[in-house]
Structure 1
């Protein structure tokens, strides 16, 4: 009995047992913490990846719709807790090569990053003596469009400017038609046409455009590049089948875009068949000689130069 009692209350054995218990507890806590940390990181990575992929599709759709022949060519994600931000490059496909025109950011996730942007800039022509066009980050002008059902005080015509250009270059030019054309009415087959402007505007919007054109100075009354929605054509000679494929893709992009206005446009256009679509203009690429020849066509009401690249 005494031996049992001495062993039971042996201070050294008690301390040793306590130390073993504490060590076991610490090891257990560490293992659980590591497991929890790994699980949470895997979950956070999976959630962030899912939101990142969704955001990319939404923003790429927005870019493809609002930037003629544009697309997101590269993204670099910075991920945090259940979200993050993505730095991305916008490129334009000039058919002979692609060129980066802008670098931007967007946030994504359940807890998206807060983006703060600082800068300064403006538009040319604020004095009312020249067109109030803007510039892209790489220095290219933003193209202008003119709706054929709106009467403007003045129309942009860059033919003379292009004729004065020097060097072997490829020009990007927005052309506005003299009237809306159905796809089967677009009888002219120009290999240089790479993008078509689709009439997605309501009667109310057209009334607003006409009121602005009537009341405002001519320098500011036009439709800016990012407000003209359309789709690209990647074949040298256009067929109705090609237009059908691209038009279906156009509707999918409207539905997918991050822009609420684009999704509202989808609801308006989703039941409109290709044969009922009206095309208001196009974007053409070509050498100086090719562009000048195109601009002499009677169905072109206005022209606005955008980007210029070396022809190689």
Structure 2
């Protein structure tokens, strides 16, 4: 009888021990799962943040290089697994205020898409009776540039268009020079307070391709589009050599930061070049009708192209 009772108690003890062990196992699994979840969440956030910051710097550099006085003014990130997507706005500094001109998105993370050029529009070889302009999302025309070392069949000139426009406005105008100038050689004494300088970042092979296109294709499609012109701004009416040197130093840093292949090539060409030897191919100015007209008439201006227009207030 005692043996039977002892067996029953032993069985109860075993079941109790098993139940207790099972409960501990479940608690341990839940606890470990929570820790793993927290660790993975924190790790994913850290990785996503790292790649988000890296992608932002690359894209902001791209925008600043290829959009005169442009910059990323707002980003909204949507994180996923070790990466995500960022929606961003591009704004242009128009001297008296900034205007949002475009909205787009980029991916970032371990499996993000590579940085590529944004669409420039237009096609070489298409014939037309007018220049093949492309437009920003806000309706502004993208400016046209003409390299001084390339001979084009025709050059765009928007002087009459600007003259005919009414109202008190601030005009953004791209001006291409008759030849490359170093900063010290520029025959411009007094500019609008904010001026963007277009630099000669092109290799001999690129110039050869541009010249071949200008000779063999329709004039309406042969020019340098806004995103293909690289430069930087100086925000003073009388820029000095030190202003230019400082802007150029930052320009090189942006070329290094951008992940666009053409910017890597430009950096390879420019990295050992001294500011005094850098060639300026043109400028983008921001001014009233009278300010713009005064500069367009100067002998060194070969072509002019109107970009954005805002009310002067």
Q: TM-score range by the shorter chain?
A: over 0.9
* Superposed CA RMSD: 2.3
Show the counterpart of 1:216.
Answer: 217
Rounded Cα–Cα distance in structure 1 between residues aligned with 2:303 and 2:86: 37
* Corresponding residue number in structure 1 for 2:290: 289
Give the equivalent residue in structure 2 for 1:201. 202
For residues 176 and 94 of structure 1, the distance between their equivalents in structure 2, rounded to whole angstroms, comes to 19
Residues 294 and 54 of structure 1: CA distance in aligned 2, closer, same or farther (over 3 Å): same
Deviation at 1:70, TM superposition (A): 0.7
Q: Which residue of 2 aligns with 1:137?
A: 137
Kindly state the Cα deviation for residue 3 of structure 1 after the two structures are TM-superposed: 6.8
Instruction: State yes or no: 1:183 paired with 2:190.
Output: no
If the length of structure 1 is used for normalisation, what is the TM-score? 0.93
Deviation at 1:183, TM superposition (A): 0.7
Q: Counterparts of 2:174 and 2:5 in 1: how far apart (Å)?
A: 99
Match runs of 1:256-295 below 5 Å: 256-295=257-296
User: Matched residues in 2 for 1:206 and 1:242: separation?
Assistant: 28
Secondary structure in 1 matching 2:305: strand
Cα distance in 2, alignment partners of residues 13 and 211 from structure 1: 93
C-alpha distance after superposition, 1:51-80 (max 9, x if no partner): 110111111111111111111111111111
Look up the match of 2:170: 170
Question: What TM-score, normalized by structure 2, do the two folds share?
Answer: 0.92
The runs of 5 or more residues in structure 2 that have no matched partner are: none
Q: Which residue of 2 aligns with 1:62?
A: 62
Q: Which runs of 5+ in 1 are unaligned?
A: none
SS of residue paired to 1:15:
helix
Aligned to 1:225: 226
Deviations 1:245-297 (A, max 9, x none): 00000011111102011012111110000011000000000111211121111
Size of the alignment, in residue pairs? 307
Q: Partner of 1:26 in structure 2?
A: 26
Alignment correspondent of 1:234: 235
Runs of 4+ in 1 over 6 A off after TM superposition: none
202-211 or 169-178, larger mean C-alpha shift: 202-211
SS in structure 2 at match of 1:128: coil
